[in-house]
Amino acid sequence: MKLGLSFLLILFCTVSIAQQSGNRTMRNTITDAPNAILDSFENDIRNEIAAKDIAGAAYILYHKGAVVRMKAFGESDVESHRTMQTTDIFRLASTTKPIASLALLLLQEDGLINMNDRLEKYLPAFTNLVVLDRIDTLNGMTVLRTHPAKNPILLRHLLTHTAGFASQNDGEMRLLYQSTMKDFYANDLTYFADKLASLPLNHEPGDGWIYGPSINIAAKVIEQVSGMLFQDFLEKRILGPMQMHETRFYLDSTEANRLTSLYTRDANGVMEVVDPGTVSSRLISGPKVHYGGSGGLTSTLNDYLKFCNMILNNGVHEGIVVAKPETIALMKTDQVPLNINADLNTQPGQLTEGFTFGYQIARTENNKSLRHKGTISWYGATGPIFFIDPQEKVIGIYMTQMQPYSHINSRKNFSNSMLKSIMK
C-alpha cells in the first residue's frame, strides 16, 4: 500500500510538472484555429507561386503571447525543387536595421554616447560636409554645385534617415552613390564611411527624410565607441543573450540546404536567380568582409520573432533584460518632425508616416490600412516585411526572396490580412 501511494504521488507530481511546463510553453505554441481570412491570404500566396510570381513564401502571425499561425509555401529553390520550410533561412536586407539601431541605442544606455551628439565627434571624416545645390554639366563633365552644411549631422539623424546622405533610393545623388558604392560587399565599414563622407548631402541634416545608408554609419560608430567589431557587438549584446543563433551575416556550407534562393524577374517576367540557396551563394562562398547595419543579416521566422517580441515586451525576452524600457520607448516613438513624411511610397505632402529610432511608425489611422496609430514596421529589398502593433499586441512577419517585389500582392496585403484575421 505504501508503494502504491508513493507511485501515485510520483505520478501526480510528474503530471503536475508536465502541465506546468506545458503552460509555460503554451504562449509560443501554434493555435492554428480555422480562419477564413488567413486561408484566403494563403490561397493568394499559392496562386502567386503557381503564376511564378514568387518561388515560395513563409509567414508567422503572433497575437497576445501565442503564435496563431506559421506556414511555408512553395519552394526555397526552384531548380532543385526544395520545399520551403518555416525553418528556412532568409536574407533580411533592410530588416537588419532595427537590430542595428538598438545596438547604437545600447551605447547610449551605457552612457557612452548621446543621440544628440555630433557624428563628427566619433567619425571626423564627417566634419566639413557640403550640401548639394544642383548638378550641372560643363563640357560633358558633371559638376556638383554645393554649399557648406549649416547644421551638423547628429547621431539621431542616423537612426531616422534625416542626415541627408546620398542614397540609391531617392534624391539627386542616386547615380553618383551607385557608382561610388559599386564594390559594396568587398569592403568593410571604414571604407564605406569614408566613401560616403566624400559625397555631398542631399539636404541640410535634420531638414528632410531620404531613406538611405545611414545605419551603416551607425554601425561604424558602434565599432569606434565600443572598440569591438560591429558583428561581435551584436552577438554580445543582442543575438547571444536572446539565443538568436539562427541570425548571422554569413553562413557555413552545412547550412546551404536551409538557405532560400533569391530571385528577380527578367524583362519577360521570368524568374531568374540573383543569389542561389546553395554553397555557391555569396553568403557562403563570397568575401566575408562587409558586416553592415543597413542590411546583411540572415535569419528565420522564429528568430526574428524573438527580436520583435522583445520590442513588444519593452526590452525583455524570456526574463532576460536586453534593453531598458526607456530605450525601447525611443524605438516606439516618432522622432521625426511632424512636417516631414518618412515614407518611400506615399505622395509628397502626405504626413502619415513618422520614423522612430529604428522603425517607420503610423502617425494616423486611415481607410487604406488597418494599422493602428503607433504601429511600427519595416521591410527589406529582398522581400521580407513585418509589423508590430503594440495596441493589439500583434506581430506579423512575412518572408519571401524576390527583388523587386512590387508585383507581389500577398506581400502588399499582408498587414491588413493579419489584422483582419484577429478582428473577425
CA–CA dist 308, 65 (Å, integer): 12
**pLDDT per residue as tens digits for the range 209-225:** 999 999 999 999 999 99
- 220's grid cell: 561604424
Mean pLDDT for all residues in the chain: 91
Mean pLDDT score, 329-356: 89
- CA distances 131 to 10, 147, 162, 347, 414, Å, are 75, 5, 13, 24, 39
Residue 222's closest CA among 113, 331, 116?
113
Residue 83's closest CA among 208, 261, 213, 283?
261
CA–CA dist 218, 193 (Å, integer): 10
- 97's grid cell: 536595421
Query: Any alpha helices (H) in 69-160, and if so which ranges?
Result: 97-109, 155-160
Task: Please report the DSSP string for 283-302 in residue order.
Answer: HHHS------SSS--EE-HH
pLDDT at 10 over 70: no
Tell me if 365 sits within 8 A of 372, measured CB to CB. yes
**What residue ranges do the domains of the chain occupy?**
29-90+230-423, 104-226
- 388's grid cell: 508590430
Residue 304's closest CA among 398, 409, 412, 421?
398
CA–CA dist 386, 277 (Å, integer): 22
How much is the pLDDT for 424?
A: 64
Domains 29-90+230-423 and 104-226 share a fold: yes
How much is the pLDDT for 28?
A: 58
Residue 189's closest CA among 292, 119, 95?
292
CA–CA dist 416, 410 (Å, integer): 10
Mean pLDDT score, 73-83: 97
Length of the chain: 424
Mean pLDDT score, 109-138: 95
CA neighbours closer than 13 Å in the CB half-sphere of residue 211:
20
- CA distances 287 to 185, 251, 260, Å, are 7, 12, 19
Tell me if 295 sits within 8 A of 93, measured CB to CB. yes
Mean pLDDT score, 388-402: 97
**Identity of the residue numbered 383:** G
3-class DSSP assignment, residue 239: helix
Query: Cα torsion for 362, 366, 367, 370, to the nearest 10°?
Result: 40
Q: What is the pTM of this model?
A: 0.91
CATH fourth-level superfamily of 104-226: DD-peptidase/beta-lactamase superfamily (3.40.710.10)
**pLDDT per residue as tens digits for the range 241-299:** 999 999 999 999 999 999 999 999 999 999 999 999 999 999 999 999 999 999 999 99
CA–CA dist 60, 83 (Å, integer): 17
29-90+230-423, what's its fold?
A: Beta-lactamase (3.40.710)
